[in-house]
Amino acid sequence: MSDLRDWTIASAADALTKGETSSVELTDAFIEAIEANRSLNAFITETPELARHRAAESDARRASGDAKGPMDGVPIAMKDLFCTEGVRTTAASHILDNFVPTYESTVSGKLRDAGAVMLGKTNLDEFAMGSANITSYFGSVKNPWTPEGANADLVPGGSSGGSVAAVAGGLAIAATGTDTGGSIRQPASFTGLVGMKPTYGRCSRWGTIAFASSLDQAGPLTRTVEDAAIMLQAMAGHDPKDSTSLPIDLPDFRSACTTDVKGLRVGIPDEYTLDSMPAEIQKLWDQGAQWFKGMGAEVKPVTLPHTKYALPAYYIVAPAEASSNLSRYDGVRYGLRVPGDSLDEMYELTRGEGFGEEVQRRVLIGAYVLSAGYYDAYYVKAQKVRTLIAQDFKKAFADVDVILTPTAPSAAFAKGEKMDDPIAMYLNDVFTVPASLAGLPAISVPGGLDANGLPLGLQLITRVCQEETLFRAASALEAAANFTARPGDAS
């Protein structure tokens, strides 16, 4: 089969409908690619037999005229944070490395019901805590992109690093991700993909292993904006089992993917200019604004005065919620147990051995900021700052329809960089965290390459529940950028 990276969800759906290929044929090709590219370490658990079985079911449905829609028969990868019935689900943690759920998460179940073929469970940062996919118990993930003229292994970004490596490397047509502070958008930017975080509550969190419940959102990682729309349609929707899932009907996302942005008001936030940012990122951002102008959009400056405080607020709220969520890993009901003489000792030894360094650090920070005497000074303060950040966006969106920013302050970096200093690593998410704190939908679209031939993404943010506006603007940006580069092109 030709270059597997040519496939999109839309083109696969089309080929399947016309009978030009079968789901089994497609699935087999991707299984072969996965087996040939294990050096990327994109998957924690491969599920080839399950995939072939579901592909055969899809082909049978199609043969009898019961094909379900554009996801039916399409081979995808599943981030190993979504519980999958009968398939080991680890969150890339030692503490869950033997956990086999007896239930299916709502998001993975919806994709299964739409006919998507799951190829396996992808690697991630442990409990989705990280921006480089270097904290996984199952080893780091390699970015399929390499810098021009050099032989360094680059990180794929994180936490959805295995998902983006799988799609960018041609091991799946699309993949699921989750985004708490940028874990879909930043890795998409590092690998030349489209990564979309919908409005908080669009996708049910039920059965998705929790990191920070007021921030966690699932979303698609795809090659095109249209694919993101198709896949989100299958993943999203109200779920009675998640009380924060939005009880509203879904619009037709795919039909929103027009490139007509005439009169669209695009805001450029002053505060997103960083001194430390490479000139090429500033240049690409300026270019993005020019593209929108050229297509008839109105580009104007906006101000988001509390941007600077988003990251520190996030690093109080997210660890606080994580310390509470991760208290369930106690060696009693599931997962690892390290025996101890008392119940407390059993807890301490289990969690001391089961959690990696970064997870421990965040749980400890969370326990500290929630502890007696500090709760108001840290947690309540951070939640107040969060209100101010949401208000900043609300005011800006009185003047503009979307906000355009870079997705990340750098291109993919080498493994080993930024590893000694947690805060330097946290700064990766400086442009993605504000929208997360405000619950806003945001998307990263590949914009171009830097001087080393590495992809750079641009981010669009819009109002709550205005995903259609986002898909329209992103489709226009995608058309203007015309990003066709692929890993390995340059070297």
Q: Does 132 engage in binding with other proteins (CB under 8 A)?
A: no
- Which of 452, 447, 454 has the alpha carbon at shortest distance from 483? 447
Site for other proteins in 451-470 (CB under 8 A): 464-465
CB nearer to other proteins: pick between 63 and 343: 343
Residue of 22, 23, 58, 79 with catalytic role:
79
Q: Does 342 engage in binding with other proteins (CB under 8 A)?
A: yes
CB nearer to other proteins: pick between 175 and 363: 363
Number of residues that bind other proteins (CB under 8 A): 75
| Rounded (to 5) percent helix, strand, coil in the chain | 40, 15, 45
Rounded to a whole number of angstroms, the minimum distance from the CB of residue 365 to other proteins is 6
CB nearer to other proteins: pick between 277 and 346: 346
Instruction: Please spell the DSSP secondary structure of 429-452, one letter per residue.
Output: GTTTHHHHHTT--EEEEEEEE-TT
Candidate residues 32, 250, 265, 309; the one interacting with other proteins per rule CB under 8 A: 309
Q: Does 424 engage in binding with other proteins (CB under 8 A)?
A: no
Q: Does 95 engage in binding with other proteins (CB under 8 A)?
A: no
Is residue 189 within 8 A of residue 23, CB to CB? The reply is: no
**Distance (Å, whole) CA 328 – CA 398:** 42
Classify burial at 238, counting beta carbons within 10 Å of its beta carbon; exposed 0-12, middle 13-18, buried 19 or more: middle
Candidate residues 39, 333, 398, 484; the one interacting with other proteins per rule CB under 8 A: 333
Rounded to a whole number of angstroms, the minimum distance from the CB of residue 323 to other proteins is 6
Rounded to a whole number of angstroms, the minimum distance from the CB of residue 195 to other proteins is 20
What does residue 430 show for φ and ψ, rounded to 5 degrees? -60, -35
Classify burial at 49, counting beta carbons within 10 Å of its beta carbon; exposed 0-12, middle 13-18, buried 19 or more: exposed
In three-state secondary structure terms, 474 is: helix
CB nearer to other proteins: pick between 370 and 485: 370
3-state secondary structure 234-302: HHCCCCCCCCCCCCCCCCCCHHHCCCCCCCCEEEEEHHHCCCCCCHHHHHHHHHHHHHHHHCCCEEEEE
Query: At a CB cut-off of 8 Å and minimum separation 6, what does 48 contact?
Result: 31, 34, 119, 120
Q: Does 438 engage in binding with other proteins (CB under 8 A)?
A: yes
68 is catalytic: no
Q: Does 247 engage in binding with other proteins (CB under 8 A)?
A: yes
- Which of 157, 151, 167 has the alpha carbon at shortest distance from 134? 157
Rounded to a whole number of angstroms, the minimum distance from the CB of residue 135 to other proteins is 14
Q: Does 479 engage in binding with other proteins (CB under 8 A)?
A: no
108 is catalytic: no
CB nearer to other proteins: pick between 378 and 471: 378
444 is catalytic: no
Site for other proteins in 6-65 (CB under 8 A): none
Site for other proteins in 345-384 (CB under 8 A): 345-349, 351-353, 355, 360-361, 363-368, 371, 378, 380-384
The one-letter amino acid at 172: A
CB nearer to other proteins: pick between 7 and 200: 200
Rounded to a whole number of angstroms, the minimum distance from the CB of residue 100 to other proteins is 7
Residue of 23, 105, 183, 436 with catalytic role:
183
CB nearer to other proteins: pick between 10 and 235: 235
Candidate residues 1, 17, 36, 244; the one interacting with other proteins per rule CB under 8 A: 244
122-130, 133-141, 344-352, 482-490 -> range binding other proteins (CB under 8 A): 344-352
Residue of 58, 108, 131, 159 with catalytic role:
159
Q: In what order do the strands lie in the sheet with 402-406?
A: 43-46, 117-122, 75-79, 174-179, 217-222, 194-197, 442-449, 455-462, 402-406, 265-269, 298-302
**Distance (Å, whole) CA 435 – CA 464:** 10
Site for other proteins in 188-207 (CB under 8 A): 199-201
Rounded to a whole number of angstroms, the minimum distance from the CB of residue 184 to other proteins is 17
Q: What's the alpha-carbon Rg for the chain, to the nearest Å?
A: 21
CB nearer to other proteins: pick between 3 and 341: 341
The encoded tokens of residue 379 equal 């947690």
In three-state secondary structure terms, 470 is: helix
Residues for the chain: how many in total?
A: 491
Residue numbers annotated as active site: 79, 159, 183
